[in-house]
Amino acid sequence: LLIASLPLDSTRRHAAPGPLTDFLVQRAADAYAGLLADWRPVTAGAIDLVPGPLGKGELDGALRAAILERLPRTAFLPPA
């Protein structure tokens, strides 16, 4: 669940596209990766915290993609 103040489009129903929204998505992804890295205890169950393709909106997809981009560099699973 993401709670953020994002710029809205004229209908006030969707996040407005643009550099501010892009910036906020990147910062949210940084924060999510940081939370995963700090998650304790480290167990294989942490894989359930990786966001799946549930959200259908453009913002959901952008946030998921940004998070997935960071996960290969985030230690959040126990060593094999």
Mean pLDDT by 10 residues, the chain (80 residues): 80 92 95 94 91 84 95 91
pLDDT, residue 4, reads 75
pLDDT, residue 73, reads 95
> Cα separation of 48 and 43, whole Å?
10
> Cα separation of 71 and 46, whole Å?
12
What pTM, to 2 d.p., does this model score? 0.85
| Run of H or E including 21 | helix 19-38
Structure tokens at 53: 């393709």
